[in-house]
């Protein structure tokens, strides 16, 4: 069956193709009456006219596509959608793109694969990259004349817009909360700790809180691997051999839920035997039994702001945008008190005897 063209609609409505284009693209003009606009829309609907987006993009040099790139930072992995964080983020990105007349092109280039090829081959109007590390692929994007937004990426570059949270502060607050409930033996379960990744920042917050309380990071209490339910379970099985561990800070909720499951498999109760703290506040944290005490970040706000930042740039706003969203403690059922709070150590000024918090 032949596709209905804009010329067919114009002929049937008794107007020019320019008039049809103006009406259907909602371009206001004083020369087109409301009656003509109504007739053109009715004819287009009755005839089943569907805009030819390819032809439109050739004319306008716009595709109304936004590229979403999720680098495969863990070799050999499929898309990391077993972590609901990505589902929540993509849901927000898609909704906010669609409500503004755009669609998403999702890809996950492997380590070392070029980002610029995605943008050039697909002709996207803008690109959002989630959780990348500094690389030659990022540097290549300077060649493009389209806006680039980096989410959860610790890269200092004035050419790129950035969106994230203070991951280090989140790790600090999470560990401080466990210390405030009397825990001293606190394990850390995370994904790989890359120099420029969010996991490293959360680890640094964990380290800072321990050291402020006069405690040292102990290598045997660090369990790094993939950000996955399976790694959380495996870490739980291993840490059960250390009787002095009373709490676990899992640097992602999917890890925390895995830790809870793994502890139960080893006959440990949560929080009676071991307390568990998560990070993200996904729906999964509430579904977990016991419900997971965690650090909340506004994932939907990240997606919404990424799309709005792309649209601002396409509208000609030249200034770089940098958004840091807050993190908040959400107290549920997976952490209990085990004694007096562990607080920051104090020392005296050598010249005055005045006590100071470190």
* Residue 70 pLDDT grade (very low, low, confident, very high; cuts 50, 70, 90): confident
Determine the structural domain holding residue 32 and report its residue range: 6-51
Asked whether residue 148 falls in the same domain as residue 34, the answer is no
Q: Given phi > 0 = left and psi -120 to 50 = alpha, else beta, which region is 240?
A: alpha
- Between CA 139 and CA 155 the distance in angstroms is 11
* Residue 316 pLDDT grade (very low, low, confident, very high; cuts 50, 70, 90): confident
pLDDT of residue 264: 97
* pLDDT for residue 195 is more than 90: no
* Residue 356 pLDDT grade (very low, low, confident, very high; cuts 50, 70, 90): very low
* Residue 348 pLDDT grade (very low, low, confident, very high; cuts 50, 70, 90): very low
100 in any annotated domain:
yes
Collapsing DSSP states into helix, strand and coil, what is residue 21? helix
CATH number, domain containing residue 260: 3.40.50.2300
pTM for this predicted structure? 0.79
Asked whether residue 112 falls in the same domain as residue 156, the answer is yes
Asked whether residue 306 falls in the same domain as residue 215, the answer is no
The tens digit of pLDDT for each residue in 233-248 reads 999 999 999 999 999 9
Asked whether residue 108 falls in the same domain as residue 196, the answer is no
Collapsing DSSP states into helix, strand and coil, what is residue 257? helix
- Between CA 78 and CA 201 the distance in angstroms is 25
Asked whether residue 73 falls in the same domain as residue 155, the answer is yes
Asked whether residue 161 falls in the same domain as residue 304, the answer is yes
118 in any annotated domain:
yes
Higher pLDDT, 16 or 82: 16
341 in any annotated domain:
no
Asked whether residue 182 falls in the same domain as residue 162, the answer is no
pLDDT of residue 109: 65
pLDDT of residue 20: 85
Asked whether residue 195 falls in the same domain as residue 282, the answer is yes
Nearest 5°: CA angle at 322, between 78 and 329?
A: 70
Asked whether residue 292 falls in the same domain as residue 304, the answer is no
CATH number, domain containing residue 35: 1.10.260.40
pLDDT of residue 226: 92
58 in any annotated domain:
no
pLDDT of residue 52: 60
In 3D, which of 316, 304, 298 has the Cα closest to residue 99? 304
Evaluate the omega torsion of the peptide bond into residue 92 and state whether it is cis, within 30 degrees of 0. Answer: no
* Residue 27 pLDDT grade (very low, low, confident, very high; cuts 50, 70, 90): low
* Residue 357 pLDDT grade (very low, low, confident, very high; cuts 50, 70, 90): very low
User: Are 148 and 160 within 8 A, CB to CB?
Assistant: yes
Asked whether residue 263 falls in the same domain as residue 142, the answer is no
The tens digit of pLDDT for each residue in 133-159 reads 766 677 777 777 889 999 999 888 888
Count up the domains in the chain and report the number.
3
346 in any annotated domain:
no
* pLDDT for residue 354 is more than 60: no
355 in any annotated domain:
no
89 in any annotated domain:
yes
* Residue 299 pLDDT grade (very low, low, confident, very high; cuts 50, 70, 90): very high
pLDDT of residue 344: 80
In 10 A of CB 14, how many CB atoms? 11
Asked whether residue 213 falls in the same domain as residue 230, the answer is yes
* Residue 173 pLDDT grade (very low, low, confident, very high; cuts 50, 70, 90): very high
* pLDDT for residue 352 is more than 60: no
334 in any annotated domain:
no
DSSP code string of 289-351: SSPPEEEEE-HHHHHHHHHHHHHHHHTT--S--EEEE-EEEE--SS----SS-----EEE-TT
Asked whether residue 40 falls in the same domain as residue 77, the answer is no
């Amino acid at each position: 069956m032949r596709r209905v063209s804009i010329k067919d609609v114009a002929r049937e409505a008794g107007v020019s193709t320019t008039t049809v284009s103006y009406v259907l693209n909602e371009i206001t003009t004083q020369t087109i009456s409301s009656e003509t606009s109504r007739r053109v829309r009715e004819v287009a609907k009755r005839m089943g006219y569907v805009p030819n987006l390819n032809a439109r993009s050739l004319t306008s040099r716009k595709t109304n596509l936004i590229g979403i790139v999720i680098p495969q930072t863990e070799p050999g992995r499929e898309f990391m959608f077993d972590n609901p964080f990505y589902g929540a983020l993509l849901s927000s990105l898609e909704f906010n793109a669609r409500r503004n007349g755009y669609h998403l092109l999702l890809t996950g280039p492997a380590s070392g694969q070029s980002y610029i090829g995605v943008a050039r081959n697909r002709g996207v109007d803008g690109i959002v990259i989630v959780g990348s590390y500094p690389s030659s692929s990022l540097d290549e994007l300077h060649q493009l004349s389209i806006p680039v937004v980096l989410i959860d990426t610790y890269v200092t570059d004035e050419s790129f817009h950035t969106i994230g949270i203070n991951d280090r502060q989140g790790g600090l607050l999470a560990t401080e909360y466990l210390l405030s409930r009397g825990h001293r033996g606190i394990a850390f379960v995370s994904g790989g700790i890359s120099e420029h990744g969010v996991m490293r920042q959360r680890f640094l917050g964990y380290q800072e809180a321990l050291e402020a309380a006069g405690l040292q990071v102990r290598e045997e209490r660090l369990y790094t691997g993939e950000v996955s339910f399976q790694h959380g379970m495996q870490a739980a099985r291993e840490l059960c051999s250390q009787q002095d561990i009373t709490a676990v800070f899992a640097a992602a909720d999917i890890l925390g839920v895995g830790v809870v499951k793994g502890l139960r498999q080893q006959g440990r109760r949560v929080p009676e035997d071991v307390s568990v703290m998560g990070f993200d506040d996904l729906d999964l944290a509430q579904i977990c039994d016991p419900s997971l005490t965690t650090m909340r970040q506004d994932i939907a706000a990240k997606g919404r702001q990424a799309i709005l930042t792309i649209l601002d740039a396409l509208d000609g706003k030249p200034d770089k945008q940098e958004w840091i969203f807050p993190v908040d403690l959400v107290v549920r059922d997976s952490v209990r008190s085990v004694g007096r709070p562990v607080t920051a150590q104090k020392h005296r000024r050598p010249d005055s005897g005045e006590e100071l918090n470190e």
